[in-house]
Chain A
Amino acid sequence: GAGVSQSPSNKVTEKGKDVELRCDPISGHTALYWYRQSLGQGLEFLIYFQGNSAPDKSGLPSDRFSAERTGGSVSTLTIQRTQQEDSAVYLCASSLGSASGSPYNEQFFGPGTRLTVL
């Protein structure tokens, strides 16, 4: 079946502009995650959605970052007033979550969106 998809694959923007990144999880996966991977850095957790529960936003680096998940499926990560330090690859992952009987299961990643802020 189809894996996690993300769009756009690349995004170049100017400092101060807002950007939206999209993630389509694997069908049937109730859990969705956003991570950020900066050059030379490990993957950094940003936010986690599980079904209709309140999201875990503990990893968002500032209030310029927000995310929503509509209808329990597609998610959008929005970065307002982008800064150069926001340049990174933004990765989305999904897992079966509570649909499997356990929230602690394998996460499957999309190809990422490479964001460059000039």
Chain B
Amino acid sequence: EDQVTQSPEALRLQEGESSSLNCSYTVSGLRGLFWYRQDPGKGPEFLFTLYSAGEEKEKERLKATLTKKESFLHITAPKPEDSATYLCAVHSIYNQGGKLIFGQGTELSVKP
């Protein structure tokens, strides 16, 4: 069964304190791994797609990396506006449609 596990569930950082969020996945065949950001009361906002092990993508203070078993979202020198829940999702090659399997998310809080 395809499964996604994110850790930690919650992370509190001081402004400028870099850290990483983990997304471990078990999937029959990975078509793509997606990272989203979700602010309270809003829908998820797309951040990155990673397709193969070794791939990296960056956007401002965020960098996403991918191995065969997990993905990391690295946050460098975070600011309070980076506070949100970060969601990881996978798409299996055995799913002919677009169904994504989501993890539970990591709630990030960055204090000034």
Contact = CB atoms under 8 A, between A and B. Distances in A.
A4 B43 contact: yes
Given A41-B104, A42-B104, A48 B43 contact: no
A106 interface: yes
Interface residues of B, number: 25
A33 interface: yes
A45 B100 contact: yes
Interface of B: 4, 31-32, 34, 36, 41-46, 49, 87, 89, 91, 96-105
Interface residues of A, number: 29
Nearest to B46: A106
Contacts of A107: 34, 46, 98, 100
A10 to B, nearest CB: 10
Interface in A91-118: 91, 93, 95, 97, 103-112
Nearest to A114: B41
A95 B105 CA distance: 22
A93 B96 CA distance: 17
A110 B99 CA distance: 16
A33 B91 CA distance: 14
B92 to A, nearest CB: 10
A43 B89 contact: yes
B99 A95 contact: no
Interface of A: 4, 31, 33, 35, 40-45, 48, 50, 56, 58-59, 91, 93, 95, 97, 103-112
Please name the 7 residue pairs, one residue from A and one from B, whose CB atoms are nearest each other, closest first.
Answer: A109-B43, A43-B102, A42-B102, A56-B97, A48-B97, A42-B104, A45-B99
Contacts of B42: 111-112
A42 B100 contact: no
Contacts of A42: 4, 87, 102-105
12 contacts: A33-B100, A42-B4, A45-B100, A48-B98, A48-B99, A50-B97, A95-B98, A103-B97, A106-B34, A108-B46, A109-B43, A109-B45
